[in-house]
Amino acid sequence: MRVINRVFILLFIVTVVSSCGNNEEQKEEEVSIEVSTENLTIADYTIEGMVCAMGCAATIEKDVVGMTGVVVSEVNYETGKAHFEFDQAIVSENEIIAKIESIADGQYKVEEWSDENNSEEELETVEDEVETVEDEIAESNEETIVEVSLPSFEIPNLFTLLMDQI
């Protein structure tokens, strides 16, 4: 029994010593790539096919920012907009688009972002609201005075509250 215990202790010590080996061998070289501001390019895209903010948008952000030369990667699920800043000497727009479209077996489609798409919808909504207000004004050709009153808000005297507690 003593022999077995000694063998296990010896094996344990040998395992610990061998695993602690030379740490210099285990260190990985860190490569730093400097991104030039003169080659810095900003690109905004519309990404279709996202179904959630935590999975889709976060995955796209993480995968694109992991590419060499990409400095900023922001994906907004609600608006469907993606914003990237990268060094065009290191990585191209086509490589970023290919990376996004390769995620999740091609679930995502990337197009150039244009404010016209969203602004047309917003413009139609605003125009409808303006027409509604104009109709209401035309119907009531009267001058209306609107009184607005704000609720009063009073902060209690903290000293009095503390004294009441004593």
Please state the pTM of the whole predicted model: 0.50
Rounded mean pLDDT of 99-122? 76
* pLDDT recorded at residue 51: 87
Beta bridge partners of 76: 81
Half-sphere exposure of 69 (CA within 13 A, CB side): 14
Sheet containing 40-48: give its strands across.
Answer: 70-76, 81-87, 40-48, 109-112
* pLDDT recorded at residue 114: 72
Residue 26 pLDDT greater than 50, yes or no? no
**Class of 50-115 in CATH:** alpha beta
Q: When comparing pLDDT for 119 and 88, which is higher? A: 88
Residue 101: Cβ within 10 Å count: 16
In the structure encoding, which two tokens stand for residue 63, read together? 């995968």
* Least confident among 37-41, 98-102, 117-121: 117-121
- Dump pLDDT digits (tens) for 53-102: 788 888 999 999 999 889 899 998 888 899 999 988 888 889 999 999 99
Residue 81 DSSP symbol: E
- Dump pLDDT digits (tens) for 155-164: 667 777 777 8
* pLDDT recorded at residue 166: 75
N- to C-terminal Cα separation, the chain = 71
Residue 56: Cβ within 10 Å count: 19
User: What are the CA-CA distances from residue 12 to residues 15, 32, 90, 108 (Å)?
Assistant: 5, 40, 49, 52
In the structure encoding, which two tokens stand for residue 120, read together? 């047309």
Average pLDDT, the chain: 76
